[in-house]
C-alpha cells in the first residue's frame, strides 16, 4: 500500500480539481496527508535493509540536513539584513549630503552616524550637505539645493527599485506576506521563492527603504528569508521533493526575517506561528527558534549600526508607569484600532481605483512609484519628523528625552506644553496614514509593519506630551496622585512604544507576537502590561469593523485561496454540506465498466476538472475510488488504441482483455456523509489538510467538495 502510494505519488502532479471559479490557475493545492505518507515511506526506504547502526547513521544524516539548511538560512538572513541596513542607511543619508570632501573622494562611503562618530550632530564638520558642497550662499538657495537633491535622490532610488522589480522579478514586489501565508497554507506558487527573487528583492529593498517612502523592510525580509531557505533546500532532495516538509522548513525560516527586522527572535517565532503558518508542530517551533536565533546572533555579531544594539530602535527606560496612565494607554489603543481600519479601507479604496480604466498610471507602474516617491519627498522635506528615515524616526520617538543627545528633530524642546511639537506630531501621523495607504501595494518591495509603528509612535508620543504637559501644569490633581512631587512622572517615549504596538495590532490583528516583539525591544517586563492593554483594545476596536487584518484583506483582494483559521464562527453556521457540494448529477464520474480509452480521452478533453470519482455504474453509483486527471492521462498512454475497453476490476483476473485502471485509482479517498454540518468539513480541510472530500450516503456517491471551492465560498460569504 505504502510503496504503491509512494510510487504513484512521484508521478502525480495534481492540479486543482475544479478550475471553474479559478482566477489564479498557477496556484495548486497540496495534499498534506499524501505528503506525510510520502515522507514516511521515504524514511522507511532509506532505512530498509541495513544493519542497525548504518540505519541510524543514515537517518541521522538525513535529519541533520534540515538543521544545516536552517542554520545556513539564519546566517544568510542575518548577513543580508546587515547589508541592507548599511546600504539603505548610506543611500538614505545621501539624500541630505555626503561624508568628507566629495571632490577629493573623501570618506563618501560612510553614512552620517559613522561620519560624525562621537561628534554632536550639528557640529560635524566632515558631513557636508549638498548646498555646502555646491557652495550655495543665500539661505533660500541652500534650501532649494538641498530640497532638489532630496527630491532627486528619492525619485532615483524609488524608480530604480521599481524598474528592478518589474524588469527582473515581478514576484519580488510588495511585502510578500500574503503570498507566503497562502503558500504555507498548502498551495504551490511558482517562481515565488527563487534565486532571482531573492537577489532582486534584497537590492530593491535597499533602494526602496533609502527612497524615504512610507514602507518598511520587515515583510520583505520575511520573503527574503523564505527565498534563502527555498534556495538552500534545493540541495536536499529529501526536503525539496516533499511539499509538506518544504512548508515546515519555510515556516521556520520565516521567523528569522522578523527576528532580524526587530531584533526579536522569540517575536519572530511567534509571528510565524500566529500570522503565517498553517500547521506548526513542536518540531517546527524549535527549528524556527534555532533559525531565528542564529539570524539574530549573526546580525549582532556583524553589528551594522556599531551601537551594540540589535536594531536601531531598541530602548531601555529608567522609570515605570503609573496606574492613571492606563487611561491614555486605552485611548492610544482605541486610536490604534481606528488607524488600522482607516489604513485598510483607504488602501483598498486606492487599489480599487488603480484597477479602473481611467486611472492615470494604469499600466505605468514605474511612473506610479516615481510619482508617489516624489509626493512623499515633497511633503516630507519641510517636516523634520518625516525627513528622517522611518527607523531613525521611531528610534527618536521611543527614546526618553534625557537619552537623546542629537535632538535634530526638535522633539525635546524645553518648555511645558509645547503645542507646536504636539501639532506637528499629529500632523505627521496624518500624512503618514495617507502616504502609507497609497504606498503599500505598489510595484516595489514594501512592508507595512514599520510605517504602522511610525504612525503609532507619532500619535502615541503626541498623547504622551499632552499628558506630560497636563501633569506638569496641574500636578495636584487627584488623577496624578501617584506621581512623586518635583519628579518627572510621565515618559512620552513609553507612549510612543504603546502607540506603535497598538497601531501594529490595528493593522495586522496579531496579539502575542506584537507584545513579545515590543518586550524584546524594550527588554523589561515593566511595560508589558500597558502594551498588552493597548494591543487588546486596538484589536477589539478594529475587529468591530471587520475581522480581516491587512494581510488577509490582500489575500481576498488577490483572490488567493486561503482557509482563514481565525474565521471560526459565523460563516456557514446552519449550512449543511449537501447545499454547497458539487452534487453527483453535476460531476463527471467514471463507471467501472463500459468505458473505452476513446471515451475517456473525450472525457478528458471535454471537462476541465482535475479528477474523477470512480463508481460501479451510472445506474448504481456506489463509490469505488477516485482517479486524478494526471493518473488517467498517464494510464491512457499513446500506444493504447481508442477502442480498448477500460474498466476498474474488483477482483483482478488475468484473462480479461483491455486496460485495468485499478492501479491508478485511489481506493481510500476521504468520504463523509452529506448530512454532516458545514464546520466539520471545514475542520477536515483545515486540520487534516485534505484537498478534496467525497460525500457518500451508504456507499453511494452524493457529491464532491474541493478545498478551493470552500475557500472561495468562505471568501464570498465574508465580503
Kindly list the residues in this chain that would bind its own copies in the complex (CB under 8 A). 1-2, 5, 33, 36-37, 40, 43-44, 263, 265-266, 269-270, 273-274, 281-283, 285-286, 289-290, 293-294, 296-297, 300, 310, 511-512, 515-516, 519, 523, 525, 528-529, 532, 536, 565-566, 569, 573-574, 576, 622-624, 667-668, 670-673, 675-677, 679-680, 683-684, 687-688, 696-700
Kindly report the backbone phi and psi dihedral angles of residue 594, in degrees, each rounded to the nearest multiple of 5, phi listed first: 95, -10
Minimum Å distance from CB 641 to its own copies? 32
State which H helix or E strand residue 294 sits in.
helix 282-302
Minimum Å distance from CB 136 to its own copies? 46
Q: DSSP secondary structure string, 480-522?
A: GTTSPTTS----HHHHHHHHHHHHHHHHH---HHHHHHHHHHH
Of 289 and 385, nearer to its own copies (C-beta) is 289
Instruction: Give the angle subtended at the CA of 432 by the CAs of 427 and 437, to the nearest 5°.
Output: 135
Beta strands 127-129; 97-99: pairing state: antiparallel
Of 118 and 573, nearer to its own copies (C-beta) is 573
Beta bridge partners of 540: none
Cell numbers standing for residue 530: 500597558
Minimum Å distance from CB 6 to its own copies? 11
Under 8 Å CB-to-CB from 166, ≥6 apart: which residues? 173, 365, 366, 443
Of 72 and 136, nearer to its own copies (C-beta) is 72
Cell numbers standing for residue 359: 486611472
Among 227, 301, 231, smallest CA distance to 260 is for 301
Of 207 and 254, nearer to its own copies (C-beta) is 254
Minimum Å distance from CB 587 to its own copies? 18
Angle formed by the axes of helices 243-262 and 282-302, to 10°? 40
Minimum Å distance from CB 518 to its own copies? 12
Cell numbers standing for residue 506: 490595528
Of 141 and 668, nearer to its own copies (C-beta) is 668
How far is the C-alpha of 284 from the C-alpha of 253, rounded, in Å?
A: 10
- What is the maximal distance between C-alpha atoms in the chain? 102
Minimum Å distance from CB 494 to its own copies? 16
Beta bridge partners of 705: 693
Of 349 and 675, nearer to its own copies (C-beta) is 675
Minimum Å distance from CB 121 to its own copies? 29
Cell numbers standing for residue 274: 500566529
Minimum Å distance from CB 606 to its own copies? 28
How far is the C-alpha of 706 from the C-alpha of 217, rounded, in Å?
A: 36
Among 219, 217, 216, 213, smallest CA distance to 369 is for 213
Minimum Å distance from CB 675 to its own copies? 5
Minimum Å distance from CB 622 to its own copies? 5
Minimum Å distance from CB 460 to its own copies? 20
Minimum Å distance from CB 261 to its own copies? 15
Of 525 and 605, nearer to its own copies (C-beta) is 525
Cβ atoms within 10 Å of 646's Cβ, excluding its own: 23
Minimum Å distance from CB 679 to its own copies? 7
How far is the C-alpha of 533 from the C-alpha of 334, rounded, in Å?
A: 10
Among 688, 681, 687, smallest CA distance to 709 is for 681
Alpha-carbon distances, residue 681 vs 277, 560, 666, 702 (angstroms):
20, 20, 20, 15
Minimum Å distance from CB 474 to its own copies? 27
How far is the C-alpha of 174 from the C-alpha of 706, rounded, in Å?
A: 30
Of 274 and 715, nearer to its own copies (C-beta) is 274
Of 257 and 621, nearer to its own copies (C-beta) is 621
Of 526 and 644, nearer to its own copies (C-beta) is 526
Of 290 and 646, nearer to its own copies (C-beta) is 290
How far is the C-alpha of 194 from the C-alpha of 183, rounded, in Å?
A: 14
Q: DSSP secondary structure string, 94-116?
A: HTTEEES-GGGT-STTS-HHHHT
Of 342 and 512, nearer to its own copies (C-beta) is 512
Among 674, 682, 676, 681, smallest CA distance to 700 is for 674
Under 8 Å CB-to-CB from 40, ≥6 apart: which residues? 2
Residue 685's SS3 state is: helix
Of 98 and 296, nearer to its own copies (C-beta) is 296
Of 212 and 506, nearer to its own copies (C-beta) is 506
How far is the C-alpha of 242 from the C-alpha of 581, rounded, in Å?
A: 29
Cell numbers standing for residue 171: 514576484
Amino acid at each position: 500500500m505504502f510503496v504503491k502510494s509512494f510510487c504513484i505519488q512521484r508521478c502525480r502532479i495534481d492540479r486543482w480539481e475544479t478550475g471553474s471559479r479559478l482566477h489564479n490557475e498557477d496556484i495548486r493545492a497540496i495534499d498534506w496527508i499524501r505528503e506525510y505518507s510520502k515522507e514516511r515511506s521515504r524514511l522507511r526506504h532509506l532505512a530498509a535493509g541495513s544493519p542497525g547502526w548504518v540505519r541510524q547513521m543514515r537517518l541521522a544524516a538525513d535529519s541533520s540536513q534540515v538543521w544545516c539548511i536552517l542554520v545556513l538560512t539564519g546566517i544568510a538572513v542575518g548577513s543580508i539584513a546587515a547589508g541592507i541596513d548599511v546600504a539603505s542607511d548610506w543611500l538614505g543619508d545621501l539624500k541630505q549630503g555626503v561624508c568628507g570632501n566629495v571632490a577629493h573622494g573623501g570618506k563618501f562611503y560612510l553614512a552620517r552616524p559613522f561620519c560624525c562618530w562621537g561628534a554632536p550632530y550639528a557640529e560635524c564638520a566632515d558631513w557636508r550637505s549638498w548646498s555646502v558642497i555646491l557652495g550655495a550662499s543665500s539661505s533660500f538657495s541652500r534650501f532649494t539645493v538641498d530640497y532638489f537633491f532630496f527630491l532627486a535622490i528619492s525619485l532615483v532610488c524609488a524608480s530604480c527599485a521599481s524598474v528592478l522589480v518589474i524588469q527582473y522579478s515581478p514576484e519580488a514586489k510588495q511585502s510578500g506576506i500574503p503570498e507566503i501565508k497562502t503558500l504555507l497554507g498548502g498551495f504551490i506558487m511558482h517562481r515565488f521563492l527563487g534565486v532571482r527573487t531573492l537577489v532582486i528583492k534584497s537590492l530593491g529593498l535597499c533602494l526602496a527603504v533609502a527612497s524615504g517612502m512610507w514602507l518598511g523592510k520587515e515583510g520583505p525580509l520575511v520573503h527574503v528569508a523564505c527565498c534563502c531557505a527555498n534556495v538552500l533546500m534545493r540541495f536536499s532532495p529529501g526536503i525539496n521533493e516533499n511539499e509538506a516538509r518544504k512548508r515546515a522548513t519555510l515556516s521556520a525560516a520565516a521567523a528569522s526575517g522578523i527576528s532580524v527586522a526587530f531584533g526579536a527572535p522569540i517575536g519572530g517565532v511567534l509571528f510565524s506561528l500566529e500570522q503565517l503558518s498553517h500547521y506548526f508542530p513542536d518540531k517546527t517551533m524549535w527549528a524556527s527558534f534555532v533559525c531565528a536565533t542564529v539570524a539574530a546572533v549573526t546580525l549582532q555579531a556583524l553589528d551594522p549600526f556599531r551601537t551594540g544594539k540589535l536594531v536601531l530602535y531598541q530602548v531601555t527606560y529608567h522609570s515605570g508607569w503609573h496606574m492613571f496612565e492606563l487611561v491614555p494607554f486605552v485611548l492610544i489603543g482605541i486610536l490604534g484600532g481606528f488607524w488600522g481600519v482607516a489604513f485598510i479601507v483607504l488602501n483598498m479604496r486606492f487599489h480599487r481605483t488603480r484597477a479602473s480604466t481611467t486611472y492615470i498610471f494604469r499600466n505605468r507602474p514605474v511612473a506610479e512609484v516615481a510619482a508617489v516617491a516624489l509626493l512623499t519627498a515633497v511633503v516630507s522635506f519641510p517636516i523634520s519628523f518625516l525627513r528622517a528615515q522611518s527607523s531613525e524616526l521611531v528610534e527618536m520617538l521611543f527614546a526618553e528625552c534625557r537619552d537623546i543627545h542629537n535632538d535634530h528633530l526638535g522633539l525635546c524642546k524645553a518648555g511645558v506644553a509645547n503645542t507646536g511639537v504636539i501639532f506637528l506630531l499629529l500632523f505627521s501621523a496624518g500624512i503618514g496614514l495617507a502616504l502609507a495607504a497609497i504606498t503599500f501595494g505598489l510595484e516595489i518591495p514594501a512592508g507595512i509593519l514599520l510605517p504602522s509603528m511610525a504612525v503609532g509612535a507619532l500619535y502615541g508620543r503626541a498623547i504622551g506630551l499632552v499628558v506630560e504637559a497636563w501633569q506638569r501644569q496641574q500636578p495636584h490633581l487627584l488623577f496624578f496622585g501617584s506621581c512623586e512631587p518635583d519628579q518627572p512622572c510621565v515618559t512620552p517615549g513609553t507612549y510612543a512604544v504603546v502607540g506603535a504596538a497598538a497601531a501594529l495590532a490595528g493593522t495586522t490583528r496579531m496579539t502575542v507576537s506584537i507584545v513579545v516583539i515590543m518586550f524584546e525591544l524594550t527588554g523589561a517586563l515593566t511595560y508589558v502590561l500597558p502594551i498588552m492593554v493597548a494591543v487588546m483594545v486596538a484589536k477589539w476596536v478594529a475587529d468591530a469593523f471587520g475581522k480581516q487584518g491587512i494581510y488577509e484583506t490582500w489575500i481576498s483582494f488577490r483572490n488567493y485561496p486561503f482557509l482563514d483559521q481565525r474565521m471560526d464562527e459565523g460563516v456557514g453556521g446552519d449550512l449543511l454540506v449537501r447545499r454547497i457540494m458539487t452534487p453527483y448529477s453535476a460531476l463527471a464520474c467514471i463507471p467501472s465498466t463500459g468505458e473505452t480509452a476513446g471515451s475517456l480521452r473525450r472525457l478528458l478533453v471535454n471537462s476541465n476538472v482535475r479528477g474523477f470519482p470512480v463508481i460501479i455504474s451510472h445506474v448504481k453509483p456506489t463509490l469505488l475510488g477516485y482517479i486524478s486527471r494526471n493518473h488517467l492521462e498517464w494510464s491512457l498512454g499513446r500506444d493504447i488504441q481508442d477502442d480498448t475497453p477500460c474498466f476498474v476490476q474488483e477482483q483482478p483476473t488475468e484473462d480479461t482483455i483491455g486496460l485495468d485502471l485499478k492501479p491508478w485509482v485511489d481506493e481510500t479517498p476521504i468520504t463523509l456523509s452529506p448530512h454532516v454540518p458545514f464546520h466539520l468539513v471545514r475542520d477536515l480541510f483545515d486540520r487534516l489538510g485534505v484537498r478534496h472530500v467525497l460525500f457518500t450516503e451508504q456507499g453511494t456517491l452524493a457529491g464532491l467538495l474541493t478545498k478551493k471551492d470552500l475557500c472561495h465560498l468562505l471568501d464570498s460569504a465574508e465580503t
